[in-house]
Structure 1
């Protein structure tokens, strides 16, 4: 079980580094018996295994994640990961390029909506910075 504990600890550290303390603290606080196994799964697998790999940078992983989420129409997750770019190093131009790929390979409607979601997330980030 030490391996699973290591993945969980590594996952929680990576998750906090990418999504930010406030977001992760809220997710942990909202965990209940019904969602606990899901939170453990995503912390160990997504964050402790995939996001923790050093084969590609967090910037590149961020771009890939946003493109995939946009292509699949997961708009809340697109916004969350756009906000996370302040921690991953992916620039607005990087995300624009990723979404242009979405337009070609997953369809213009998916990219169109993702651009709207991303623009709103960037505006929110700017407001947070100003206030």
Structure 2
């Protein structure tokens, strides 16, 4: 049995971007997808999120333009950074909203790389697949 890197998918639920990532890279990684946990109470889903951020190898954080705040993403990114996880940040919202960009740029520092769109993020994430080594 071969090892597959574990990826936590951090970001909003306005679209189904997580499915796009999983469909394109499905057999190369193990994905922890908060969209699928089915938990609605904040204590429950926050505990779930923290647990799987601890378990992941890579935090893939997607700040899509339609995400209203990014608070959850920022929290998960901070946890991942404190645990020395590899962080890939895709930030589409900052280029559309200069005021948001002013405050969100603090998350650029702990991120290993900041990319401009989901396609670039998926392409970069694929480089971490052990199938490519």
Q: TM-score when scaled to structure 1?
A: 0.33
The structure with more radius of gyration: 1
Which structure carries more helix by proportion? 1
Q: TM-score when scaled to structure 2?
A: 0.32
Greater relative contact order, per chain length (Cα 8 Å cut-off, separation 6+): 2
